[in-house]
Amino acid sequence: MNKLNMKPNTTTGVLITFCGIDGCGKTTMMNRLINYLGRGSNVYVTKQPTNSVRTSDIFRTYMDSPDHDAYDYRSLSLLAASDRIQHGSKVIEPKMDKGKIVLSDRYFYSCLANLRARGYENDKWIYEIAESVVKPDVAFFFDAPVETAIKRVRSRDAEKNRYIDIGLQHRLRDEYIQICHSNGGIIVPTVITEEQSFNIVKTEVRRGLQKYENKRTAI
C-alpha cells in the first residue's frame, strides 16, 4: 500500500473527513460532531461523491445490482475521482479559503479503497490524481465488523432489501484500515459505546481545531 501524496492545506480553514464501509457508524459520528460544533456559519457540511455521480446509471448499477457486466469498474472509479477533484477545487477549497471548518462525508480515500477492493491494486493513476487533492487535517476511518455494519444497514427501512456484496465489504474494510495506517488517519472503533467513539472524535477534532486557530492567529 503506497502513501497518497496529497497536497497540503494552505488555507485558513480545516478539512475533516469521514470514511468507512456502509454501516460503520460514520454518519452517526458526523451528526454528533455537527451538533457539537454547532450549525453556525463557520461549519460547512458536504459529501462525496456528489449527487451527479450518485444518481448516474453506472453508480446505481454497482450499488444496487449484482450484475455489473455492462460497465468496466475503472470507468466508475474515474468518474468518481473526477467528481471529487471538481468538488474539492470548486467547493471544498473555496470554503476553506474563507476559513470554514469543512466536514466531508467520504473523501478521496474511498476511491482508492474501492478500486483496490475490486482487484485493481496495481493501478497507478489513482496516486497521480491524489496529488491534486487537499490532504485532510483530520481523517477519520470508522470501523466495525462487516456483520455488524450490515445489520445496521438492514435496520434502515429504505435499505432493508438493498443488494450488498458481502465479500466486497470485507475487502473494503481491510483496505480502509490499510489506507488509514498508510496516510496518518485515525481509526475509530464503533463497536464500543457511542459515547466512547465520539470521545475519540472530539479529542482528535480539538487537536485539529487548535492548529486551525494557530493558523488564523498567525495571519
CA 155-159-185 angle, to 5 degrees, is 80
Q: How confident is the model at residue 139 (pLDDT cuts 50, 70, 90)?
A: very high
**pTM score of the predicted model:** 0.91
User: What is the fold, at CATH topology level, of the domain defined by 14-218?
Assistant: Rossmann fold (3.40.50)
- The full set of domain ranges for the chain reads 14-218
Question: Would you say residue 219 has pLDDT above 70?
Answer: no
- pLDDT, residue 217, reads 66
DSSP state, residue 7: B
- pLDDT, residue 218, reads 62
- pLDDT, residue 215, reads 66
Q: Cell match 497540503: residue?
A: 8
Dihedral sign, Cα of residue 92, residue 93, residue 94, residue 97: positive
